Homo-oligomer: A and B are copies of this chain.
Amino acid sequence: MASKFYALVIGAGTGTGSAAARRFAKSYPVVLMARSPASYQDAVDAINAAGGQAVGVSADAADEGSLKAAFARIRDELLPGHQLAAAVYNVGANFKRAPFLEATVEDLDGSLGGNVRGTFLFAQQTIPLLLETAAARPPHPPTLILTGATASLRGAAHCAGFAAGMAARRALGQSLAREFGPRGVHVAHAVVDGVIDIPRTKGTMSTAARRTGSWIRMRYWHLHTQPRSAFTQELDLRPYVEKF
């Protein structure tokens, strides 16, 4: 694959993350990031086996040093001379249902770490790269996609800490879209909900889930291919049976 561009998905261990990576791999080399190889190795192997080019990198999104080291490795060792075409932040941290008075501050901190701090740090690493790409006549506008959930839109009983983290991520996305959209970087927030983002379970994935995964795959790709005359800042994807 001769592309000088690459795509990157963090939180690659979920159904949404690996589905997105598979689709981007049809057009770019892809980097799959997660805290440990257990989360990304299967997807990396599957992409390489199918003729794509994938590498896995371990990093903790909520830890600035870990993230910086990972990006340095991509630049210096893994994909030297390449430019970042698209980055997907797909970490969903600490989803828990619990009565508020039984929730711990550690639960909250876990949600704020993975859902907010991680988004912030990931954006600080990727946006300078995406701005460089914007100046380099890329095939599509450089893109940062944040995965959201219904909890991003409104708080719910027994879900306070997760809702707080996801609402904050959405606010980050809006702020970044307003700041960097005019500079040519497409920042989108995809509200993916319900049974869509099931953990990838070998052998047991239903046809419906596989079909959905295939659709999500396309969807993130389409966000990336939007011309800058028609950026989508937010869209929702939810099963027809889901109440909203």
- A interface with B by C-beta (< 8 Å): 64, 99-101, 103, 105, 108-109, 112, 116-117, 120-121, 123-124, 127-128, 141, 151, 154-161, 163-182, 184, 186, 192, 194-196, 208-209, 211-212, 215-216, 218-219, 222, 225-241, 244
With a cutoff of 8 Å between Cβ atoms, the chain B residues found around residue A128 in the complex are 101
Partner of A169, one of B64, B164, B181, B238: B164
Cα distance A3–B37 when bound, in Å? 47
* A121 neighbours in B (Cβ, 8 Å): 105
Which 9 pairs, one residue from A and one from B, show the smallest C-beta to C-beta distance? A155-B174, A155-B175, A235-B235, A167-B171, A160-B175, A157-B179, A164-B168, A228-B240, A168-B168
Determine how close the nearest CB of chain B comes to the CB of A87; give it in whole angstroms.
Answer: 15
List 22 A-B residue pairs with CB atoms under 8 Å apart, sorted by A's residue number.
Answer: A99-B179, A105-B117, A112-B112, A112-B116, A116-B168, A154-B171, A154-B174, A155-B173, A156-B174, A157-B178, A158-B179, A163-B175, A166-B171, A167-B168, A168-B168, A178-B244, A196-B229, A211-B229, A215-B229, A216-B230, A228-B239, A230-B237
Contact between chains at A211 and B227 (CB < 8 Å) = yes
Q: Which residues of chain B are within 8 angstroms of A196 by Cβ–Cβ distance?
A: 229-230
Contacts of A176 in B (CB 8 A): 100, 155, 160
Within 8 Å CB of A237, what residues of B?
226, 230-232
Other-chain residue from B120, B222, B229 in contact with A195 (beta carbon distance below 8 A): B229
Taking a contact as CB atoms closer than 8 A, the residue among B108, B171, B226, B235 that contacts A160 in the complex is B171
